[in-house]
Amino acid sequence: MSESSPSPAGITLLELFLGFAKISVSGFGMILPWARRLIVDEKKWMTPEEFNETFSLAQFLPGPNVVNLAVVFGSRIRGAAGAVVALLGLLGPPALIATALSALYSVYGDVEILRRILTGIAAAAIGLMIVVIARMAEPLLRQGLVPGPFVLAATFLAIGVARWPLVWTLLVIAPASIALAAWWQRR
């Protein structure tokens, strides 16, 4: 943790649980924006760079990215107990809410206004995700011209536009990006 972040000893298990519970009930589908907002902006538990590094690790691990983020962050703060508490805070409240809502949806699911509300919530979630992506890119953009965005664009074009198979694209892009990054650092 950096100097601007509170020391791990200053974050209690209760604060960790409540923080991740707040994250989990604030988002509807996309909770990464809320996780970054709470961890970086509100609580200042991490710097933007630390958050990006931790989220990168979470993406590398198998499983849902934000769940991995909670476990990695919790374990860094309070060890195994922190990982469990952060995970329970992240998954517990939504599980209870989803159970209650599913009972309500089984009765009122055919109501047209409910469908429209859910469509609006989905659009808002997409907007929040765009904002978080922009905020996460900010530290990278301060570094100046780097090869990462070009690799990202090439990957998007190969998979999203040209519709090349994911496995073959990654087998080519991964070593090429490592070689490009190594070359870029040496120049």
How does DSSP assign 77-111, residue by residue? HHHHHHHHHHHHHHHHHHHHHHHHHHHHHHHHTT-
Tell me whether residue 93 is in a domain: yes
Q: Can you give the pLDDT at residue 12?
A: 92
Same domain? For 161 and 92 the reply is no
Same domain? For 135 and 149 the reply is no
Tell me whether residue 122 is in a domain: yes
Same domain? For 100 and 15 the reply is yes
Instruction: List b or e across 80-118, with b for residues whose CB sees 16 or more CB atoms inside 10 angstroms.
Output: eebbbbbbbbbbebbeeeeeeeeeeeeeeeeeeeeeeee
For the chain, what is the largest distance between any 2 Cα atoms, rounded to a whole number of angstroms? 64
Question: Measured between alpha carbons, how far is 170 from 173 in angstroms, rounded to an integer?
Answer: 5
Same domain? For 152 and 172 the reply is yes
Question: Measured between alpha carbons, how far is 71 from 78 in angstroms, rounded to an integer?
Answer: 10
Same domain? For 30 and 109 the reply is yes
Q: Can you give the pLDDT at residue 125?
A: 83
Same domain? For 111 and 22 the reply is yes
Q: Tokens for 31, please give them.
A: 């909770």
The distance from CA 50 to its chain's CA centroid, rounded to whole angstroms, is 13
Question: Measured between alpha carbons, how far is 84 from 77 in angstroms, rounded to an integer?
Answer: 11
Tell me whether residue 3 is in a domain: no
Q: For residue 163, is it left (φ>0), alpha (ψ between -120 and 50) or beta?
A: left
pLDDT in tens, the chain (187 residues): 444 455 555 889 999 999 999 999 887 667 888 899 999 999 999 999 999 999 989 988 888 899 999 999 999 989 999 999 999 999 999 899 889 988 887 888 788 888 888 888 888 888 888 888 888 778 777 777 778 778 888 998 999 899 999 899 989 999 999 998 888 888 7
Same domain? For 125 and 170 the reply is no
Parent domain of 149: 145-187
Tell me whether residue 75 is in a domain: yes
Contact yes or no for 78/45 (Cβ under 8 A): no
Q: Can you give the pLDDT at residue 3?
A: 45
Cβ partners under 8 Å of residue 131, min gap 6:
33
Picking from 29, 20, 30, the residue whose alpha carbon sits closest to that of residue 75 is: 20
Question: Measured between alpha carbons, how far is 41 from 48 in angstroms, rounded to an integer?
Answer: 9
Tell me whether residue 2 is in a domain: no
Same domain? For 55 and 120 the reply is yes
Q: How many domains does the chain have?
A: 2
pTM for the whole thing? Answer: 0.58
